[in-house]
Structure 1
């Protein structure tokens, strides 16, 4: 059973990660992974000091049996390792039993892709008639054609987007911070969303406007009548679920949309270096796989 002492350790772990300038999404994930591992230990009444390398292997097998994805298992193992390094640093345990253990292999294979043209077809069926629909179009374009990641998108603030004449640029904060120019269609979609957002915000009292510093709002309630200051990961997943159901796109998620963006940029004549800069990548990774597949298919 989780105890107040466990809660305190987890809070200190999260604070330690934030002090190291880890992304908010990473802090959330690693803390959740550590919590899951502590609950796993609870089922065996195993104290932290009794944990051995074999314990982590058993936890990995437990995750695989629970049908977690390979890369999800890998990330959870990394999160637990980080947690135990923190415990050793804090002298809760003498040293981490996991440092010498190799990580599970990363699954570098390309996922089942979204069929080319599906996103364009979906956008043709979407109309910006209110704040929510304008937001959905802008977000879909950022994910599918600009390759923005989920954790980047939900952290955008209103002043990160700059529009001058027919050109739009976006500052992407975080460890891989960068400024990127947006495609004309994305710029237009962002402009429409901003008009709806500013029009809606103007109807609020000044004191009610203060929390709305994030670029993308979220909606609550059956009819979306309650507008909240910040898009969440859950809200983003639900948005894509709605679009997938509406336009019959079975594999729509942020990871596949990033692959879709790479394909789109390659088709528009971008080279690997341009794409890496736009996406904030330090290694070729999946871009090389897309290039190889395009050569194979040509």
Structure 2
């Protein structure tokens, strides 16, 4: 790829980081999607940005479909590239956005997957132990389940964000929005034990910092590091099916609603800007009620 393209991509990434305030994880996705497209474009012999046409875009989409890529993944790539070319038009680098005419068929929204309470017990069981990392992992899992925060939000938590007296935590959400989320006695106990007994032990060989969760070297845990830990715990618990760490957030919301919490409260706790984002969980709770009814009513 040309030096000029790299400069434009770097400027776009800065725009996403500063003006759009996107997370590092989201920005990495944009960067990867754009670079993959331009590797393909170079293979086709198209040298200049303003030479890319709708026909090139269709060729690229054909390549993605030939790879049998998931429609959701293709839709994400189109969105990333459409945004990049829109930025180039805005900056007067090119005249037209070749992705303007691309329409991606929308998939029916899938219901969020979640863990049942028995599955959560299995997850917590694999965290039991006396080693520093086991104590840290239990605190991490307890906090995520207690608050429903995103993995990226969890990585950003500092010691000063936790109020043990009130049992609330200040979460730094998307778009620089902040919210206070309470946590229960199990998370309270696990956090206090981790901070008082093991955090300093893990950090003994590095310069002190205030981030709550640290890795085995004592440096702050990244979102990727937290995902790795959760994936490993899920694997050790031998839970079946398609599982991903974000399910803890879905589980938090689903269990609250199943136990009588109101929608607005759950929306606020999750940090959703719109109630419609939270309402998808009502479909899960209705399905849960239906299955419970069919399983237990004598004339179902």
Q: Do the two structures share a fold, i.e. TM-score over 0.5? A: yes
2:127 counterpart SS class: coil
1:7 aligns with 2:6: yes
1:277 aligns with one of 261, 265, 268: 268
2:168 maps to 168
Compute the displacement of 1:82 (Å).
Answer: 0.9
State whether residues 78 and 103 of structure 1, in contact with CA within 8 Å, keep that contact through their aligned partners in structure 2: no
Cα distance in 2 between the residues matched to 1:283 and 1:56? 35
1:117 counterpart SS class: helix
1:296 aligns with 2:290: yes
1:213 aligns with one of 210, 214, 221: 210
Q: Deviations over 1:105-146 (max 9, x none)?
A: 255112554444112222134225243222211222233342
1:19 aligns with 2:9: no
Deviates further, 135-144 or 273-282: 135-144
1:77 maps to 78
Mind listing any 5+ residue stretches in structure 1 that lack a counterpart?
A: 220-225
Compute the displacement of 1:271 (Å).
Answer: 1.5
TM-score by length of structure 2 reads 0.83
State whether residues 112 and 281 of structure 2, in contact with CA within 8 Å, keep that contact through their aligned partners in structure 1: no
1:88 maps to 89
Q: 1:238 to 1:86 in 2, by over 3 A?
A: same
1:237 aligns with one of 202, 210, 227: 227
Q: 1:144 to 1:66 in 2, by over 3 A?
A: farther
Mind listing any 5+ residue stretches in structure 2 that lack a counterpart?
A: 294-300
1:179 maps to 180
2:51 maps to 50
2:98 maps to 97
Q: 1:54 to 1:255 in 2, by over 3 A?
A: farther
State whether residues 70 and 107 of structure 1, in contact with CA within 8 Å, keep that contact through their aligned partners in structure 2: no
State whether residues 37 and 60 of structure 2, in contact with CA within 8 Å, keep that contact through their aligned partners in structure 1: yes
State whether residues 113 and 250 of structure 2, in contact with CA within 8 Å, keep that contact through their aligned partners in structure 1: no
Compute the displacement of 1:263 (Å).
Answer: 2.0
- 1:186-201 matches, cutoff 5 A: 186-200=187-201
Q: Give the superposed CA RMSD.
A: 2.6
2:243 maps to 252
2:212 counterpart SS class: coil
2:32 maps to 32
State whether residues 148 and 252 of structure 2, in contact with CA within 8 Å, keep that contact through their aligned partners in structure 1: yes
1:230 counterpart SS class: coil
Deviates further, 263-272 or 11-20: 263-272
